[in-house]
Amino acid sequence: MQRKAILSEVSGPRQEQMTGLEGGFYQRDRSWHPAALTPQYKTSVLRSPQYPLLALENTISEMTGPRFGHGTIGPLDNDLIRNFAKTGDAIGQRIIVYGRVLDENARPVPGALVEFWQANAGGRYRHKKETYLAAIDPNFGGCGRAITDAEGRYWFRTIKPGAYPWPNGVNDWRPAHIHFSLFGHAFAQRLITQMYFEGDPMIWQCPIVSTIADKAAIDQLTAVLDRNATLPMDALAYKFDIVLRGRRSTMFENRMEGN
Amino acid sequence: MVQTLTTLKESPSQTAGPYVHIGATPNWVEITGVWDEDLGLVLVGPETKGERIIVKGRVFDGSGNVIKDALIEIWQADADGLYNSPEEKRGKADPNFVGWGRQPTDGTTGEYRFETIKPGRVPYKDGRLMAPHITVWIVARGINIGLHTRLYFGDEEAANAECPVLARIEHKFRLPTLIAARSEENGMPTYTFDIRL
Ligand SMILES: [Fe+2]
């Protein structure tokens, strides 16, 4: 009901002359993102596009996207300590992860679906292809999700994941990390990334982290310990803000002939 | 020093890794009881308007091997060419069609498969109609940043020929790689869309 009202408010030819109308998304800064072909991460060699990407200006197809209502989410979806618990809480360092989802214009992105998954405290995933010898925690599934509130905020409770070895070099290890998937308001904003933990020396030895060339970009994926947000006698807290692509605002329209 | 811009940088991407399904489709990897149903499995219900179709295919790496641990998402308009999104300003889409789907590639065959409807045409920014298409997004271990592509329909020759997006592709030999061939599978129109990295 409410949505229909919003739709009629911004549609119609009169609006097209309005200033401040939102246009396409800013071009992705490909030097800030990892390149597709990063030989130190061996799997990327055969899984990177061989031909240059086609440049596609944003159309309605990219500037729209699915929206997930708060009803999508169950009460334990953002509690990885309890959402798979069988006999008790998951084992490990109890932490809260919280932050905001913003766009490049520094505006909050409300209603964004944030999904996260991670290894257990020993660095082991609950997955049949996982072969690392660290023990499975019977009370830890490793997945969760949240939807951002009106200020773009999300939060969840979990245990700090362990570092784990992986087959790349003969002795490569991933730093402790949490995987994140984000839906903003448009399919052009779709993003999957990983969160690292402040002060972890393993960050600087990881062939996947180093697919990102700029140290400042790696720092952007590194959550900061927030002593003020800790739960006394319970859990540490890490703050992790995420930035999605922002939209151009068109102060002057540049319309093609006939439109 | 000159003034500074107040824009932020987009968070850099990192690979979805081998266990993306734990987060995206946990029930599919036997993590059950956290939530009842994985998101994006079902696009079409009995009330959905439009021609029922199947979209399927496989993802191949640079050596021609099938990638069996990918995750595919699709986003498309309804049968009338409207998106079920608050960002859709042209009208109200079919409330019985979400337009978004998510499927893993099969761990054995590498095939992904969506049951959906054929989308209507959507205008380009200058008002000309694009050919019917589905937006496809691919992530997997070894893919550092999610890949967007488009699926066009092989039986839409006339619309494809006048699509302003397809017309902009400089190297014409790449054009057929965006077009899914139509066949029939158990009486259902089936479009096969293989993706080659
Ligand atoms: Fe991981």
Q: What is the pLDDT of residues B60-86, one digit of tens each?
A: 999 999 999 999 999 999 999 999 999
Catalytic residue among A125, A154, A196, A238: A125
Residue B29 neighbours by CB under 8 Å, 6+ apart: A126, A127, A128, B19, B21, B22
Does residue A225 fall inside a structural domain? yes
Range of the domain at A198: 28-47+63-244
User: Which of B13, B61, B137 lies nearest to residue A34, judging by beta carbons?
Assistant: B13
Catalytic residue among A126, A179, A190, A248: A179
- CATH number, domain with residue A203: 2.60.130.10
Number of domains in chain A: 1
For every residue of B42-98, DSSP letters joined together read --B-TT--S-EEEEEEEEE-TTSPBPSS-EEEEE---TTS--SSTT--S----TTB-
Q: pLDDT digits over B98-124, tens only?
A: 999 999 999 999 999 999 999 999 999
Contact assignment for B130 to A187 by CB distance below 8 Å: no
Does residue A58 fall inside a structural domain? no
Q: Check if A5 contacts B (Cβ < 8 Å).
A: no
The Cα–Cα gap between A188 and A182 comes to: 11
pLDDT for the residue numbered B1: 87
Tell whether the model's pLDDT for residue B93 goes beyond 70: yes
Catalytic residue among A177, A185, A245, A247: A177
Tokens of A212: 């990102």
- Classify B146 in phi/psi space as left (phi over 0), alpha (psi -120 to 50) or beta: beta
pLDDT for the residue numbered A20: 47
* Domain definitions of chain B by residue range: 30-191
Q: Check if B130 contacts A (Cβ < 8 Å).
A: yes
Q: Check if B70 contacts A (Cβ < 8 Å).
A: no
Query: Do residues B43 and B171 touch, judged by C-beta distance below 8 A?
Result: no
Query: Do residues B153 and B81 touch, judged by C-beta distance below 8 A?
Result: no
Does residue A104 fall inside a structural domain? yes
The Cα–Cα gap between A180 and A97 comes to: 12
The Cα–Cα gap between B118 and B189 comes to: 10
Query: Do residues A44 and A211 touch, judged by C-beta distance below 8 A?
Result: yes
Q: What was the ipTM of the complex prediction?
A: 0.96
Q: Looking at chain A from residue 10 to 39, which residues have their Cβ under 8 Å from any Cβ of chain B?
A: 10-11, 26, 28-29, 32-36, 38
pTM over 0.80: yes
The whole-number average pLDDT for the span A206-227 is: 98
Query: Do residues B166 and B160 touch, judged by C-beta distance below 8 A?
Result: yes
Q: How many CB pairs under 8 A join A and B?
A: 254
B15 contacts in chain A (CB < 8 Å): 41, 44, 192, 194, 208, 211
What CATH superfamily is the domain B30-191? Answer: Aromatic compound dioxygenase (2.60.130.10)
The distance of A222 to chain B (nearest Cα, Å) reads 11
The closest alpha carbon to A175, from A206, A133, A132, belongs to A206
The Cα–Cα gap between A13 and B89 comes to: 11
Does residue A37 fall inside a structural domain? yes
B102 CA → ligand 1 middle, Å: 20
Q: pLDDT digits over A86-128, tens only?
A: 999 999 999 999 999 999 999 999 999 999 999 999 999 999 9
pLDDT for the residue numbered B6: 86
